[in-house]
């Protein structure tokens, strides 16, 4: 049977692509990977992307029967349904509801963080400046993730919900932003960031990103 195909953007820049890629890896789901370099704004119009994605954006997951799932969260939900014992969502109903709330907040919010700290794994920048709005969102992320870890985490696991989950996958690109732009965070959040960086799936993504030759000058200039 043919494997699903995950089409993603450049690993150095595409935060939305990283999220389902990690979720699929953590769920143990085999898939083929196709990388399409992103344009100056990080998405279409790109004829190569339009040819495989109905929304003209990446990521998109094409199943063996030709079905295309084109939203990051939807791909992660599909991964959970294919491998319900992998722990992508907590089994406890309250924990699962709050994990989804945190994930959806990342899915739709934190605009100042996204704009101020574009993902760029190859770069380390000192002296980066940001607004009070961005700082408030950084603090919200810190409080949110550390609070969830206190409530639902495990002393034996560095992950937010006690097991690698969609929450970790959704906030992993944020951890890279904090690393790239040298953003100070609490000791608790830094410990989680370090755990993400040491994860084998993340490390494989990061290593591949370092080898890419594509560039987006507008992002590199931030």
Enumerate the domain spans of the chain.
5-85, 87-204
In this predicted structure, what is the pLDDT of residue 170? 99
Matching CATH number, 87-204, of 1.20.120.80, 2.30.110.10, 1.20.1050.10, 3.40.50.150: 1.20.1050.10
The beta-strand segments (E) located in 39-83 are 60-62, 68-69
Among 96, 109, 106, residue whose Cα is nearest residue 72: 106
Among 151, 209, 149, residue whose Cα is nearest residue 179: 209
User: pLDDT tens, 92-126?
Assistant: 999 999 999 999 999 999 999 999 999 999 999 99
Residue 57 near residue 109 (C-beta atoms within 8 A): no
Residue 8 near residue 214 (C-beta atoms within 8 A): no
CA distance 70 to 83: 19
* Lookup: tokens for 160: 């937010």
Residues of the chain with pLDDT under 50: 42-44
* Lookup: tokens for 30: 């085999």
The architecture CATH gives domain 5-85: 3-Layer(aba) Sandwich (3.40)
In this predicted structure, what is the pLDDT of residue 42? 44
Question: Does residue 33 sit in helix, strand or coil?
Answer: strand
């Amino acid at each position: 049977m043919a494997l699903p195909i995950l089409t993603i953007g450049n690993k150095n820049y595409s935060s939305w692509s990283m999220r389902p890629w990690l979720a699929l890896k953590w769920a143990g789901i085999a898939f083929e990977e196709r990388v399409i370099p992103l344009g100056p704004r990080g998405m279409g119009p790109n004829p190569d992307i339009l040819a495989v994605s109905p929304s003209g954006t990446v990521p998109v997951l094409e199943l063996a029967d030709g079905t295309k799932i084109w939203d990051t969260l939807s791909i992660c939900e599909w991964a959970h349904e294919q491998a319900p014992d992998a722990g992508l969502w907590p089994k406890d109903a309250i924990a699962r509801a709050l994990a989804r709330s945190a994930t959806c907040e990342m899915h739709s919010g934190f605009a100042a963080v996204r704009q101020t700290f574009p993902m760029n794994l190859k770069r380390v920048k000192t002296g980066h400046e940001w607004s009070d709005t961005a700082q408030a969102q950084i603090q919200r992320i810190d409080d949110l993730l550390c609070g969830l870890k206190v409530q639902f985490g495990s002393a034996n696991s560095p992950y937010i919900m006690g097991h690698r989950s969609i929450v970790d996958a959704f906030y992993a690109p944020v951890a890279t932003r904090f690393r790239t732009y040298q953003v100070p965070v609490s000791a608790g959040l830094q410990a989680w960031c370090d755990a993400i960086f040491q994860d084998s799936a993340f490390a494989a993504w990061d290593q591949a990103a370092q080898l890419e030759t594509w560039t987006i000058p507008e992002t590199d200039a931030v």
